[in-house]
Amino acid sequence: MPRPEVFSIRALLREHVLLRDLPEAELDKLGTLAKVRSYDAGQTIFMKGDRARGMMVVLEGGVRIGASSPEGKEVVLNTIHPGEVFGEIALIDGIERTADAIAMEATELLILDRKDFLPYLESNPNICIRMLQLMCKRIRTTSEQLEDFSFLDLRHRLAKRLGYLASTDYAETDGENKFVIKITQQDLAAMMGTTREAVNKQLRIMIDEGLIEQQRGAIVVNGPDKLESVLAEEKTSSTTGKFC
């Protein structure tokens, strides 16, 4: 969902799938209650255990959702891109945040406070249904990630994640079926639940195979279809018993 040249909170709310069926008067009222906040790259938006206040929509930039162990090891649970919502669980129950949210780059968020938004949920069943659909999608994604960690090796998990990132608004295209993903190897390692060194080794192999290229602070996917061929080899190995 690209941000309009002339920024309008109301116009943004009208475009969002959760809110587009609200009557104009209610949308305008909600627009006056919404807040826009900016965050620098690496800045904390909220931490696990913080009291939840509301739901957020990414206008620009990106957000990393993750958790850290007492020893400082981090795992990335999700990345949120322009037009996507996060914090919806806390919007419903109003209790503590279940993960950390960090700005991946200079980021702008639209924030809908729980106390302002709950009345719209109570009086608009269509919004409630869409909220449930969004939460179901998140649950399915989490289940798929757990399955990938159980059954896919690092090469195939990495190919799958890069393919997903290339398909989002977070990636930029140069018009030649190449997709530029602004992400560090450390962030990729956290998504894969492994070390930066292990990810770097797999990236070098993919570079040699012509699947990707590397730029400073970014990875260029040379056509998502090539990454799909990596996943196809995993399926073939599963049927033949070959270990990758």
Residue 93: count other Cβ atoms within 10 Å of its Cβ: 10
pTM, full prediction: 0.68
pLDDT digits (tens, 9 = 90+) for 142-188: 888 888 888 889 999 999 889 888 887 667 886 677 888 888 888 88
**CA distances to 61, 153, 156, 190 from 230, in Å:** 29, 12, 7, 21
pLDDT digits (tens, 9 = 90+) for 187-223: 888 888 888 999 999 999 999 999 999 888 889 998 7
**Long-range contacts (CB closer than 8 Å, 24 or more residues apart) made by 210-216:** 211/159, 212/162, 213/178, 215/180
Residue-range domains of the chain with CATH: 9-149 (2.60.120.10), 153-240 (1.10.10.10)
Residue 108: count other Cβ atoms within 10 Å of its Cβ: 17
Looking at per-residue pLDDT, the higher value among 85 and 197 belongs to 197
19 pLDDT higher than 90: no
Please provide residue 166's backbone torsions phi and psi, each rounded to the nearest 5 degrees: -70, -20
pLDDT digits (tens, 9 = 90+) for 39-50: 999 999 999 988
pLDDT at residue 88 in the model: 78
Question: 184 by DSSP, 3-state: which?
Answer: coil
Using N-to-C axis directions, what is the helix angle for 114-123 and 125-151, rounded to 10°? 110
Q: What is the pLDDT confidence band of residue 135, given thresholds at 50, 70 and 90?
A: confident
**Cα-atom radius of gyration of the chain, to the nearest Å?**
19
Looking at the DSSP bridge assignments, the partners of residue 181 are 219
